[in-house]
Chain A
Amino acid sequence: MPNVSTFKAPALDRYPAPAFGVSEVKMLDATSLVKYFYRGTVNEVLALDHVDLKVDSGQFVCIIGSNGAGKSTLMGCVSGYSLPDQGSTILDGRDITMWPEYKRSKLIGRVFQDPLAGTCASMTIEENMALALRRGKRRGFRRGVTNSERELFRASLAKLDLGLETRLTDQVGLLSGGQRQSITLLMATLIKPKLLLLDEHTASLDPKTADLIMKMTRQLVEEERITTIMITHNMQQAINYGHRLIMLHHGRIILDFGPDAKSKLTVKDLLQRFHSAAPNGSDSLSDRMLLG
């Protein structure tokens, strides 16, 4: 990928972090979410055990946890991919608990782990971005891509500094995974979402590209002050980014650090805290989480 080194992300301290736990208005207010899999069979799993997750407007939350901790299930209950058995999900004052996935997309921007999952390979860059620009809007018989939109796309692609602004009519399938993930990230924030969900969105990328995407994420999220939830397997990443760090274990939130506590945190601390907080001492964290 070209120009990796020229990408500049603004420093975090230019933007004051939102007050932690003070604000009255929560952007996301998930209460007592319960989700079982294979309920009533011998394989019954309690994936979410009365999870409460309240996120302030403008807050960037990192969620970590080992395999099967319930990260993806929690994300699913917020994105609408799966529905909870109990509990409620309120986003920006609207009860979206039972809304279908497509309907929630009006409010939520998403980036997936698979860098190919967020774009249409057979369509051009501008067509993909035009699809994202109409997120949650009625799609009628007006033109799919207009000239004024092309200018907008060119300007926002130029911000990525990957040279994609001159390739608007190239098919997305011709691009690399990193380039496609950059475009997906841009598409998710093209219309400012009430909530941005990042589902291990750098886990399938090489370290250099992952770093680039993370810097890009920080820039986009902080420029627009987007409320963000990021799932990650990587402890260091969870410590480096965002205002708040949550650890899930066996379907429950076992650790929750605000910005002050988080800034002093190291991977070693986190491990110690995990072992003392985990209800079952014999549990261990996966290698992938430790090695990042």
Chain B
Amino acid sequence: MSFYAFTGAIEQGLVYGLMTLGVFITFRVLDFPDLTVDGSLPLGAAVSAVCITGGMSPWLSLLPAMGAGFLAGMVTGILTTRLKILHLLASILTMTALYSVNIRVMGGRPNVPLITKPTVIGPVRELVSSLGINPWLASSFLFLVLVIFVVAVLIWLMRTEFGQALLATGDNPKMITSLGVNTSFTIVVGVGLSNSLVSLCGALVAQNQGTAEVSMGVGTIVAGLASIVVGETLFGGRRIVSRIISVVLGSVIYRLAIAMALSMNVFRPSDLNLITASIVVASLCLPKVKTYFRNRSYRDKNA
């Protein structure tokens, strides 16, 4: 694997780590399989790109992007809690609707180019090269700092009273309702929070690659799930702190694994989705296979 493939994978792993954290909040914390993310990732990209094109500062444009993601998540949450639509279906409905919304946001076009526009990476690239470091690494540094910041905020949040209520909502909704928490509220806010992180990721990816595209969200949920499963299998842990960190590491390992698979010249880039799905299947059944063989070895000994 070349230096550029390796560092490129690290960069992707870090920026998509933000998305993975969002997916972690729904899938793992709330036990809410949320496919809205396939739509909220390009939504964040579109909102940020349009704001930048309109003259807004690229840093400031991250806020409306996150806000839009939060709203998208809230829609899924409200469809589920108020209208009692199955969570999986509700999120598919929002995701489908977001495709049209995203094109509307981008003024009727399927993409918005940002190549000539200011981005959050530009100043960092200048700073890095003035320090004599390869400017190619600028995005990796920036994303590393952002991911550490978001991880710190999430760890703080999960330890607050609200965060504890969020964790309990996913673990035992009956119990937390009997302790006075409105689970409809925690679900709507939790799914909103998750999607605001996914939109933040989308905005950064768009600025980094120089374009926002309506199709950039395809497969987001599978990649996010793969990163979570890889992280939990390799690093894991019971405490929320180690779980949050392992999820981000999982995202980086996942992108490295993809880069490695592609560098073998056996696979083509279009094989990516097949590889990803295989990684998820393998990681999901690995614990069961382990248990099976462990039990069998005990049985053999006692026979």
A residues apposed to B, CB below 8 Å: 79, 100-103, 105-106, 108, 110, 112, 117-123, 127, 130-132, 134-137, 139-145, 171, 187
Instruction: Report if B123 contacts A (CB, 8 A).
Output: no
- Verify if B284 is at the interface (C-beta below 8 Å from A): no
- The answer for the CA separation of A132 and B172 in the assembled complex, in Å, is 13
Q: How many A-B residue pairs have CB under 8 A?
A: 85
Chain B residues with Cβ below 8 Å from A127 are 164, 167
Give complex CA distance A187, B238 in Å: 23
CB atoms of B167 and A140 under 8 A apart: no
Tell me, in angstroms, the Cα distance from A79 to B175 when the chains sit together: 12
Q: Which residues of B contact A103 (CB under 8 A)?
A: 180, 182
Contact A139 B162 (CB under 8 A): yes
Contacts A139-B162, A143-B160; A131 near B179 (Cβ below 8 A):
yes
The interface residues of chain A, by DSSP majority, are classed as loop
Q: Is the CB of B171 within 8 A of A120?
A: yes
User: How far apart sit A139 and B165, CA to CA, in the bound complex (Å)?
Assistant: 8
Our pick among B161, B167, B171, B179 for the contact of A141 (Cβ within 8 Å) is B161
Report the bound CA distance from A137 to B183 in whole Å. Answer: 14
How far is A145 from B163 in the complex, measured between Cα atoms in Å? Answer: 11
Given A131-B165, A141-B160, A105-B178 contact (CB < 8 Å): yes
Closest B residue by C-beta to A142? B161
- Evaluate contact between B178 and A101: CB separation under 8 angstroms: yes
17 more contacts with CB within 8 A, not counting A102-B177, A131-B168, A144-B164, are A106-B180, A108-B178, A112-B174, A112-B178, A117-B175, A118-B175, A119-B175, A120-B176, A122-B171, A135-B179, A135-B180, A137-B180, A139-B162, A139-B181, A140-B161, A141-B157, A143-B161
Query: Which residues from chain A contact B157 at a C-beta distance below 8 Å?
Result: 141
Which residue of chain A is the closest to B183 with respect to CB atoms? A102
The number of residues on chain B lying at the interface, defined by a beta carbon within 8 Å of a beta carbon of chain A, is 23
In the assembled complex, the Cα of A115 lies from the Cα of B23 at a distance in Å of 31
B109 within 8 A of A: no
Residue of A nearest to B170 (CB): A122
Inter-chain contacts of A131 with B (CB < 8 A): 164-165, 168, 176, 179
Tell me the complex Cα distance, A96–B168, Å.
25
Q: Roughly how many angstroms separate A117 CA and B168 CA in the complex, as a whole number?
A: 12
Q: Enumerate B117-175 residues with CB–CB distance to A below 8 Å.
A: 157, 159-165, 167-168, 171-172, 174-175
Q: Which residues of A contact B177 (CB under 8 A)?
A: 101-102, 105
Contact call A123/B182, Cβ cutoff below 8 A: no
A112 neighbours in B (Cβ, 8 Å)? 174, 178
> Can you name 20 A-B pairs with beta carbons within 8 Å?
A101-B177, A102-B181, A102-B183, A103-B182, A105-B178, A112-B174, A117-B174, A117-B175, A118-B178, A120-B171, A120-B175, A121-B172, A122-B167, A127-B164, A127-B167, A134-B180, A136-B179, A141-B160, A141-B162, A171-B238
Q: CA A112 – CA B177 in complex, angstroms?
A: 13
Nearest CB of A to B199, in Å: 22
Given contacts A131-B165, A139-B165, contact A100 B175 (CB under 8 A): no
Say whether, besides A134-B161, A140-B162, A141-B160, A102 and B182 are in contact (CB < 8 Å).
Answer: yes
From 171 to 226 in chain B, residues with beta carbon under 8 angstroms from any chain A beta carbon are 171-172, 174-183
CB of A85 to closest CB in B, whole Å: 20
